[in-house]
Structures are given as C-alpha cells and as structure tokens.
Amino acid sequence: MMKTLFFGTPALAVPFLESLARKTDLRAVVTNPDEPAGRGYALKPSPVKEAAIRLGLPVHQPVNLKEEVFVGAMRAAEAGFALVVAYGKILPASVLQSTRHGFLNVHFSLLPSYRGAAPVQRALINGEKETGVTLFWLDEGMDSGNIFLQKALSITDEENAEEVRQKLVPLGLSLIDEVVSRIEKGDIVRLPQAGPVSRAPVLKKEEGRIDWSRPASAVHNLIRGTVPWPGAYTLFFHQGKKLRLKISRSQVVRSEKPGVPGQIVDLEVEKGPVIKCLENDLLVVNVQPEGKRAMSAWEFWQGARLKIGDKLGI
C-alpha cells in the first residue's frame, strides 16, 4: 500500500482525508495551528485535525513550513505523494520536494480558469454554466502546476455556491480513487495547463453589496455566488433606521412595471417583493434582516412595513 501525506484545514477537506486514509498508508496529516474561537477565545483545532485524531493519525501543525524539523519529518515519511485540499498556505520548494512523485492539489475549477482561493464563488458571480474539479501537481506558482485529472460539472441558474460545492466534493472523491490506482501502477500524468488564465481572489465583505443599477441576472448571480459568505446585501429603512438586509435566494423575472433601480415595483403573493434592476427585475425569495433570523421574503414583507414604491439600497 502506497505511503501518503495529507495537507488540509477546513471541514470541506475531511472527506478527502478519510478517503485517502482508507486507500493508502497515510503517514501524517498537516493542518493549520489551532485558532482562538468563541467568547473565551479558547484554542480550537481545525476540522481536519479533529478527524485525524479520530482516525489515530499523526498530526503536524507547523507555523513555519521551512523549519528543518518539519521538512525532515515529511521526508522521513517516504511518501509516494501528498494530497492537498484547502490547506490555506503556499508550500515552499523544500516541502514540495519531500515526496517521491510530488504534491497533488484538489482545486474546484477547470484550470487554468479561476486560479485562486474562491473559484466556486467567482464562477457563479460571473454567471458560468460549467465548473469542475482539477487534480494538479503543485509548483511554487498560484495553481499553475501540471494537470493529472480534470472533470467538468454543469451549473444550473438557481444553484448557489454552497450547493455547487457539495456536488464538487463527491466528484473530487471519485478522482482521488482513480489517482491512487493509477499512481500505484506507475501511470502518472503531467499535462501542462492550456487555455486562457482567469483569477479567483478571495472575496471581500464589501463585495456582497448589491448594485441595483446592474442587470437582474448579475444581481442574481452575486446572490448565488456569495452564499454562505460574505452574503449579498442591500439596505432598507425600518422605523427610521437604516438596516442591512441579506438576500440568499432570488429569481430573475420580467416586469413591465415602471420604476428606478432598487425600487420595489411589484409583490408576488406568498413569495416576495420584486425589485427593479437595469434589465429585467429581481424577485426576492429568502432574506435575513439585520439582527434577525433567516426567513422567507414573504414573511419578511409582512412585518417590514415596506410598500410598493419604496427604494432599497439607499
């Protein structure tokens, strides 16, 4: 059975850790150091560390990835390859050279499209109809290494980033099965990335603010792409206060009602308000008012004291 290493941090990486542990001789798990959490700021381990402990696997949490003791431990594992899933740090050459074949990274896009930390979110925000999973060999660049395997996934107009991510995980796991089998047989592929390069930098909180002067499709895609974080939001007045309203589900609709961008121009009973955009309009379906729980837009409408003609995003 081939010896391997695993690098990862969030809950998203746990299924990949578990799969690698079942299929290989997993020698060590590397994750980020524990971080303060909660009111008492007690140190909390990453989901990957918790899973590794449950599986009885050795855990490393280096602060400095170039530290000789850590690099030496990686070399001593004599691993055939390492699998990296959302580890969160750039690996130096000394670490990348510590296994026989190299480091394989699971990336949720069809590279070279959407290199970076937020490929799923950026793809949805840009209205892409397709994404996928790429397993590629890490180098010292940003998601620029040679490709081992790649598989596409269609995106519907209504799926949000979290829903797409949950479909990409099993797709990625199926690729791991194939990769392990092929590496054990010596069938190793290193294909240079081909095609136009696009970037997917991490989202900033302010990017979630809705600009109603854009087409309804663009607003809808922003809402889909920012679930669950940072969330798309607009502003509204309630009892003389300007409050934030997160919108988590919407639909593009055609309306002949006159109005200006951001104005409530119609109301669909049992659904929610319709907001005027530059091109077409947006039916708001699910929301979370500032300081309150998430709810349907219709429930929000009942208590918000808004009316047709009011303007959002002021």
> CA–CA separation, 201 vs 115, rounded Å?
8
What single-letter amino acid sits at 138?
L
Angle made by CA atoms 292, 293, 295, in degrees to the nearest 5: 120
45: pLDDT confidence band, cut at 50, 70 and 90?
very high
The model's pLDDT over 273-306, given as tens digits with 9 standing for 90+, comes to 999 999 999 999 999 999 999 999 999 999 998 9
C-alpha angle 269/272/273, rounded to 5°? 110
Q: pLDDT value at position 83? A: 98
| Rounded-to-integer distance, Cα 67 and Cα 79, Å | 19
DSSP conformation letters of 165-229: HHHHHHHHHHHHHHHHHHHHTT----BPP-S---B-PPP-GGGGB--TTS-HHHHHHHHHHTTTT
Residue 299 φ/ψ, nearest 5 degrees: -65, -40
Give the contacts of 51 (CB within 8 A, at least 6 positions apart): 14, 17, 18
pLDDT at 38 over 80: no
pLDDT at 182 over 90: yes
Domains of the chain: 3-184 (3.40.50.170), 205-304 (3.10.25.10)
Q: Which two tokens stand for residue 249?
A: 């589900």
> Given pLDDT bands bounded at 50, 70 and 90, which one contains residue 96?
very high
Spatial neighbors of 111 by CB under 8 A, at least 6 apart, are 134, 136, 143, 147, 150, 193
Tell me the pLDDT tens digit for each residue of 213-250.
999 999 999 999 999 999 999 999 888 889 999 999 99
Question: How far out from the chain centre does Cα 193 lie?
Answer: 22
Does the pTM exceed 0.85?
yes
How high is the pLDDT of residue 39? 77
Over 90: is that where the pLDDT of 136 sits?
Answer: yes
